[in-house]
A and B are shown apart, each in its own frame.
Chain A
């Protein structure tokens, strides 16, 4: 008993008093929930257009930090540290995006005596440049796609390297990400213009024109390994995530475990990932990305030094809470389990719900959410930053929510997700929900035949546009019933359904009758 009490008081002493969440949207809400579950007050920040955002509604304290432009608010290091000081927060969780992989910010936090919940600035810098990371990793025997570990200096050098490793090759920006500064080169005569284009795009996007060459892997899979490292030298891997479903090099749907990774491959990938983290003296949660070719050879791609958008699929199959663990590690605790304790159970799939229009080239679709019907039930997790009546601002990334399905196996996870997607409805704005319905019924997806070109191929095939006359008749009857039973809420509020409103008044006794029937 005495020992118990002393253990309690120690953990209270080392745990943070208050955590500032330097982010917005669904991830701010997700981190906020972890803080509240751990009994730590959560402080949030918001820009001028985010006063109504969900993370502000749910927070313990909320501070305005300026204009909508991220540079004036969520990317402003000075303002962020000022809020930490004013609120008395002794730790900052950066979420993903914004300042999460900014080594200057991590350093500024350390200098201000505020704990950055993530790796050190030095570890971030070691991984921040793809070419520098590659040089460091080659020394410790991490497998790489054949190519240059340094930026190419001239066209002649690029031609020599490409000839040596063989076409097709990829040109990639050293400072890159998100497909910017990336070019696929199929033949020698395309190299010159591709190199120029990649360099100028890299310069424009990242302020750094360094470009390197890699052998292009045909129809690769993109598989990543979650690692977790405490500040006492303990590192574990928590299994892989299959992230091959991408559009314009942006992940759309992720799952864990990968359908092609068996226990042996998982162990080999996991051990490489741990070595990568060790080499960078990495701490906290991180992700090592690999390209996997058709023979299941895997090659190191890069390390993401933050919590990933798709972390929930790992949480569901391991039963761990990564944000809780991030906070405990940052507070100086040792990892509460060992590699042998990590068990993978079941299968999880995540859909990234974006405010974008699938019928208009996936153009962002901000605006007011007039109706929101959200799924629940067995095996369904929703990490959402939206609510009915909220106006999705035009200023930020269009990720609204993540819908994650879990099952005993992949088929059950797919079945549950399919069912949940049929329940999900977001009215007033366009979302990519229909894209996921299409992916989940695709025979190749069902058969787990996935690679990074999967979505492009699927989207090129014409969609089944057969008009269902029965459904149209149902819609016609429903239109009449909506009119006689009362104006729809959104119509009544903006006056566009004036006629329906008049019908409602004329038939108010009918409405009363139907209400009475509803209660019967």
Chain B
């Protein structure tokens, strides 16, 4: 199996093959002996050579996070041979969706459709656990659409507004 893995902007070419009951791993051409057991869903017991790791997997909104010890990595993985390879975060151009980073209630909307916004302009105020947080626009543009109303309950990853 061939994968392209991107972590912190760096791409790795990963080739995993089953040979004689063992995994042969090639990471950017470097050959490594790897042994892995899915201990339970989302938890991988991994050996690279004789080094042992417990890896935790977490899906946050649409991102995959893998934890090596207490260090978390945002990971993108795709199969380069698949036409429908998953590429994430590639929509910086064009309309930008503003999403809720955590579940909560929309206390206030700070913009209306058609308003011009700068990077950092507050778009909505979300309240969770008695604290209010302002969701800001990541880019300059105009508010094309607002998809939530005041008082609405939102989940992490829900689109609040679209800035063109």
- Chain A interface (Cβ < 8 Å from any Cβ of B): 355, 357, 360, 363-367, 370-371, 373, 394-398, 421-422, 425, 427-428, 430, 433-434, 437, 467-468, 471-486, 488-492, 494, 496-500, 503, 507, 510, 513-514, 517-518
Contacts and interface: CB of A to CB of B under 8 A. Distances in A.
Nearest to B153: A394
Interface residues of B, number: 63
Contact of A437 (B8, B48, B70, B104): B70
Interface string B128-147: 11110100000000000000
The 4 closest A-B pairs by CB, nearest first: A489-B41, A364-B129, A481-B36, A427-B58
A152 B57 CA distance: 56
A467 B43 CA distance: 23
Interface stretch (B73-81, B91-99, B108-116): B73-81
Contacts of B1: 480, 483-484, 503, 507
A484 B73 contact: no
A476 B27 contact: yes
B74 to A, nearest CB: 9
A433 B71 CA distance: 12
B42 to A, nearest CB: 5
14 contacts: A360-B101, A366-B102, A367-B102, A434-B70, A471-B73, A472-B8, A473-B12, A476-B7, A478-B46, A479-B3, A482-B38, A490-B57, A499-B78, A499-B79
A483 B129 contact: no
Contact of B58 (A370, A395, A433): A370
A514 B103 contact: no
B5 A471 contact: no
Interface in B36-88: 36-38, 41-44, 46, 48, 53, 55-60, 62, 64, 66-71, 73, 75, 77-79, 82, 84-86
A428 B55 contact: no
A364 B36 contact: no
Contacts of B48: 474, 477
B4 to A, nearest CB: 10
A142 to B, nearest CB: 34
Contacts, number: 186
Contacts of A357: 102
Contacts of B84: 499
A517 B55 contact: no
Given A364-B128, A370-B59, A497-B64, A483 B3 contact: yes
Interface centre among B16, B34, B38 (most CB of A within 10 A): B38
Contacts of A503: 1, 79
A357 B129 CA distance: 12
B68 A471 contact: yes
Per DSSP, chain A at the interface is helix
B128 A366 contact: yes
A488 B70 contact: no
B68 A474 contact: yes
Contact of A513 (B10, B21, B38, B101): B21
A364 B68 contact: no
A474 B102 contact: no
Interface centre among B53, B66, B78, B155 (most CB of A within 10 A): B66
Contacts of A476: 5, 7, 12, 14, 27, 75
B7 A480 contact: no
Nearest to B78: A499
Given A363-B133, A471-B73, A518-B37, A478 B66 contact: yes
Contact of A471 (B71, B79, B82, B155): B71
B37 A497 contact: no
A159 B18 CA distance: 80
A468 B72 CA distance: 11
Contacts of A396: 129-130
B32 interface: yes
B36 to A, nearest CB: 4
A472 B73 CA distance: 7
Contacts of B37: 485, 514, 517-518
A362 to B, nearest CB: 9
B66 A479 contact: yes
Nearest to A423: B54
